[in-house]
Amino acid sequence: MNSNKPALFISVCCALFVWIFFLFAGISQSKAQTPGLSNLVDYSNNWDIQEQATHTFIFTLPLDAPQVNPTDYIRFRFDNYTDVTAPTYVQGTYAGTPDFSTDNTHNAYVTGITVTPGTQLTIGGMTAVNPIVMLNLYTTVYISEDFATTIIKNSGTTAPILLPNTIAMNMVVGLPYANLQISGYAAPYTYVLFNEGLSTLGTGYTSLTGYFSRYFSGIAGGTHYLSFYGIDQANRNTSTISVVLDTPIYQLTTLTDQLLSPTIAVDDVAIDPGEPIYATGSAAPDTTINLFTDSPLRSYATTADVDGNWTVTITDSSGYVPGDYRLYAMAQTGTGLQSLFSPAVLFTLTPTSVGSGTACGDISEGDLNCDTLVNLADFSILMYYWGTISPAADINLDGAVNLTDFSVMMYYWGS
């Protein structure tokens, strides 16, 4: 046992040397930036080579520093680490709703908050796999005006300090707040907005695969009436999902697998009978899109492509009687998720003779579309011209479309 003491002593001395060296190196580098971050500390739960470690950063924004704005980014740079995850909480005095993210390389970010000079913040919950070489354990914090960190307002570099697990646990508990995470799917690069009442809690974009996940920390415990929806790259809206959630303090409440509805548009809102109807939109990739028109209800189906785009062509609209119609869609995944109906778009099928104002032929027996049948299609044309003097529906040629024409049509109905 005594033979191991020198080796243990040497290991401890090396570890202390590494920490002291990079602590002073970090302080020196931090001072090189103006005005810099004060009292920057990175608490970690282990220094083990290539082991995952938690990181909790504490720093003070100097009194002579510029304010941190909601559009600024607080970036945590782990140059020699791997598998960096996003932070999960912010403690201290700040305004706004933190937005946590990672670029899946060596960086984690917080944005969406306002911090005034002189404020101390604690930001934690992030993890990273330690580097192979202990001399590379240092981390850097930037506050910048842009995601790319080209306009730096503050910065500081430090080396992690080992922190006992009991202390780290107490730090995470902190103030009596709740945490909430909402995740789901929509078309790639959809802009998702999260609201509570008239206030916007946060925003974000879906990924290349259409996945989104939004973390909210420091929210009050209790009942929340939340809503969220998306805006796709063509500026078309999904339907709004509204939920009522209870968020107990000191707990993470999750709402997962939220499938946003498709977006939808038509290329023309005025359709002549027989012309095709083109409907387009976006949805989560590879979802089945069911398209509906009413009334009477008709349905069509297609699949969103890998980019989330979908198109349905109703090749022949002659089966629709003239009038106004609603068109809306719903998405379904192969795993059974189903969205709300999309917002409805309207289109109008115009009568055959709406352009010329003349009859299609001999309409003396009520066959206003000249298809040799007197049915609902003819009645719709009659209603379209009701109260006018249009020859297209003036069955008895008295110069008015009125009850007399209706009576003639009813006499020949079904013939």
Report the percentage of the chain scoring pLDDT > 90.
49
Residue 223 CA to residue 244 CA, distance in Å, equals: 7
**What integer is the mean pLDDT of 13-34?**
46
Look at residue 314 in the predicted model and tell me its pLDDT. 92
**What integer is the mean pLDDT of 191-207?**
90
CB 291 within 8 A of CB 312: yes
Q: Quickly count: other Cβ atoms within 10 Å of residue 255's Cβ.
A: 16
Tokens (6 digits) for 18 = 């590494």
pLDDT band for position 168 (cuts 50, 70, 90): very low
- pLDDT higher than threshold 70 for residue 205: yes
Look at residue 35 in the predicted model and tell me its pLDDT. 58
Tokens 């109260």 correspond to: 387
**What integer is the mean pLDDT of 360-365?**
88
Considering the entire predicted model, what is its pTM?
0.52
Weakest mean pLDDT among 52-61, 189-198, 208-217: 208-217
The average confidence (pLDDT) of the chain is 85
Omega of the bond leading into 98 within 30 degrees of 0 (cis): no
CA dihedral 299, 325, 309, 209 (to 10 degrees): -80
Per-residue three-class SS string for 162-213? ECCHHHHHHHHHCCCCEEEEEEEECCCCCEEEEEECCEEEEEEECCCCCEEE
**What integer is the mean pLDDT of 63-82?**
93
CATH ID of 355-415, from 2.40.10.10, 1.10.1330.10, 3.90.1150.10, 3.40.50.12780: 1.10.1330.10
Residue 403 CA to residue 12 CA, distance in Å, equals: 102
Measuring CA to CA, which residue among 57, 4, 342, 393 is closest to residue 186? 342
Q: Could you tell me which residues come within 8 angstroms of residue 86 by beta carbon, excluding any fewer than 6 positions away?
A: 100, 101, 102, 108, 109, 125, 126, 215
Cα 244 from chain centroid (whole Å):
18
Domain with CATH 2.60.40.10 in the chain: 178-259, 265-349
Tell me the pLDDT tens digit for each residue of 274-304: 789 999 999 999 999 999 998 778 999 999 9
Architecture per CATH, domain 265-349, reads as: Sandwich (2.60)
Query: Which CATH number applies to 15-161?
Result: 2.60.40
Query: Which CATH number applies to 178-259?
Result: 2.60.40.10
Domain with CATH 1.10.1330.10 in the chain: 355-415
Question: DSSP string of 89-146?
Answer: EEEES-EEEEEEEE-SSSEEEEEEEEB-TT-EEEEEEEEEEPPSSGGG--EEEEEESS
Look at residue 204 in the predicted model and tell me its pLDDT. 87
Residue 399 CA to residue 391 CA, distance in Å, equals: 7
CB 262 within 8 A of CB 302: no
Amino acid at 265: A
Q: Quickly count: other Cβ atoms within 10 Å of residue 326's Cβ.
A: 12
The secondary element (H helix, E strand) that includes residue 44 is strand 38-44
